[in-house]
Amino acid sequence: MIRLLRTGLQQGLEKQVPATGLGVFRILVGLVILQEVLFLLYFGHLIFDRAPFIEQASPVVDLFLALWVVLALCLTLGYHTRFAALANYLLWIVFVGFTPMWLDFDGGFDQMMTGIGFLLVFLPTERGLSLDNLRLKLKYSAPGWDYRPPESVSVLCYYLPLAMVLGLLYLDAGIHKLSAEFWRNGMGSWLPPSHPYYMSALDMSWLLNHKTVEQVIGYTLIVFQFLFLPLFWFKRCRVPLLLIGVSFHVGIILSLNIYQFGFGMLAPYALLVPFSWWKCLASMLRRKSPALTVFYDGLCPLCKRTVIVLSHFDLAGAVDFKDLQTHAKTCRQLDPIPEAELLKDLYALDLKHRLYSGVDTYIRILSAMIYPAPLAWIVGLPGIHSLAELVYRRIADNRARLSCDESCAALAIDPQEDPFRQIHAQWLGTPRRQATRIAKLTVLVILLQLNSTLQFGVFYRLNEGHASSEAGQLLEGLSNAVLFISHTFLGITPHALYMHDHFAGYEHILAVAYRDKDGQERFLPFVNEEGRIVAPNWGRIQCWWANIAVTPHIKRKRLNKALMQLTAFWGTKVGVDLLNTEFLLKMKEVRVPMDWEANLRDHNLRQPWRDIGTVRWDELGQVRVETPGIDLEAW
């Protein structure tokens, strides 16, 4: 098997394709990580404090989250990409493994982000749309010649992440769905958006009330998950898979309150976009001819570096940079200017043959590039323009203009002689050696995924409710140990999400209210009067409340802890005095049928609340939850 894989992988390594899609994938992943870390910062006291705002977590948590924000920005921008990817991967492991994110506040997509983070460490995502490309240009270019970093990658950089992140995940999820009654009835996309705890703020009744449409969506999703892995390798299948997959995950974002999961699953689809689409988009963005011509001193290292930076960000090709030594004589507008003066400034010529110099040249460049035009308007303001002129003249008049004959050899570095590149190339080895390594890793991932899928998707379902033999228990323990390692470090986990064993019997939901100073009853900004979990309590906060605290089989200890956390966090946020406030615990009944019913969403939202207990804080910082006459665990 290794030999067969190695042959195919070696062919894949030899096939080079544009890195644009890989760069877009990195940017999307970076943005998903950034919003999630900002989410963690906002809900930090709820997630990490032992008692929100009362027994606070270590300040080191906030420090690491702030560091994570910087790393997510670096990953998004492609700045020191490999280091940022490695640090991001380690932070996912640390936070998911050693904080309440491990169980109570599992976001439902942490393992997927761990797996993606692991792949980003090895994928050359910096070759597309990155600041690292600019760093290489500045490092290896010099007056007299330009260096162009490689902008192509092996096609395996697209195929392997798609297979590991999406293909295996879909296959595992599809196998689990076969054991769920409402999925087999075609109601997999209907039931969750009909339950108040899982629905989004958008009223999707217009779709949910069409049984046939919901069945088509439900069955198509199952078929899609089984066919994605074997079909995405074929060129003709990619666009249909892309359109169907994106539609499903956009539907998750719109209909459910787990938008982070939807966006996280959308990011890898950038790798499925045909290369011709990226080329077409690039040609649409680029101008047919430059709107501005800029002349610069081609023998000045500072001018050269300035041009490299500006060219890198000129995505539309709006500016044509020309060195004065070669092109000054071809421009009549420059003729009246003495050569000594020409070399002191940066000159720009627009389509109307108007000549600009100094700071005005930079203003015209920023305006021509379009997206940085607001910065050009700011620089052009009175006062700011004068200050910019002073700074510009100070730099321009004091720069050391070196002759290329004297300096180019010292400034230029041959990429092939870079010691770090030589070490990296030596570590990579021959294409055959690379293919062998990738083949071994691929086989390992497949085996680890099989262990997870077979244990939880097949054997667990088959043996559910039956006592296993001693040998079976031993094998199960061994399998769990392997799964723990793969789950922690590679993000391989059972994807039994939104299954029948979670929704069956989920017919009671809870909310918390309080009385304000005027005696008016108000719901905490968490579960509202309809029973929906409101923004921004979505994602991992929704998972914590709807999957851990309140379930079809409530555990009193977990619920009491969650009520303590909820009242402390949102009670403090809304400004109530915890010691002198009596929180009201409310309950309403909802329906969760395994087959379609008309207007179920509206029915569940209209059900009345009834008070079933109270939540009180005492002076010792303890919480007493009283539900007289109600046995919550008997639901």
For residue 474, pLDDT over 80 is answered with: no
Q: Considering the domain boundaries, does residue 303 fall inside one?
A: yes
Per-residue pLDDT of 421-461, as tens digits, reads: 666 666 666 778 888 888 888 888 988 888 888 777 666 65
Boundary (domain end) residue, out of 379, 412, 445: 412
Q: Of 91, 90, 149, 93, which Cα lies nearest the Cα of 125?
A: 149
In the chain, the amino acid numbered 387 is L
Q: Considering the domain boundaries, does residue 454 fall inside one?
A: no
Residues 513 and 620 in one domain: yes
pTM above 0.85, yes or no: yes
Range of the domain at 597: 505-634
SS (H, E, C) 479-492: HHHHHHHHHHHHCC
According to the model, what pLDDT value does residue 144 have? 67
CA 544 from centroid of its chain's CA atoms: 20
CATH code, 400: 3.40.30.10
Q: Considering the domain boundaries, does residue 351 fall inside one?
A: yes
Which spans in 526-617 are helix H? 540-543, 556-574, 600-606
* Number of CB atoms found within 10 A of residue 612's CB: 18
Q: Considering the domain boundaries, does residue 613 fall inside one?
A: yes
Boundary (domain end) residue, out of 111, 138, 165: 138
Number of domains comprising the chain: 3
Boundary (domain end) residue, out of 383, 412, 441: 412
Query: Phi/psi at 75 (nearest 5 deg)?
Result: -65, -40
Query: Phi/psi at 494 (nearest 5 deg)?
Result: -65, 135
Q: Considering the domain boundaries, does residue 183 fall inside one?
A: no
Confidence tier at 51 by pLDDT (50, 70, 90): very high
Q: Considering the domain boundaries, does residue 239 fall inside one?
A: no
Per-residue pLDDT of 134-187, as tens digits, reads: 999 888 877 767 788 888 999 999 999 999 999 999 999 998 888 888 899 999
Per-residue pLDDT of 320-348, as tens digits, reads: 988 877 776 667 666 677 666 667 778 88
Q: Considering the domain boundaries, does residue 258 fall inside one?
A: no
Q: Considering the domain boundaries, does residue 500 fall inside one?
A: no
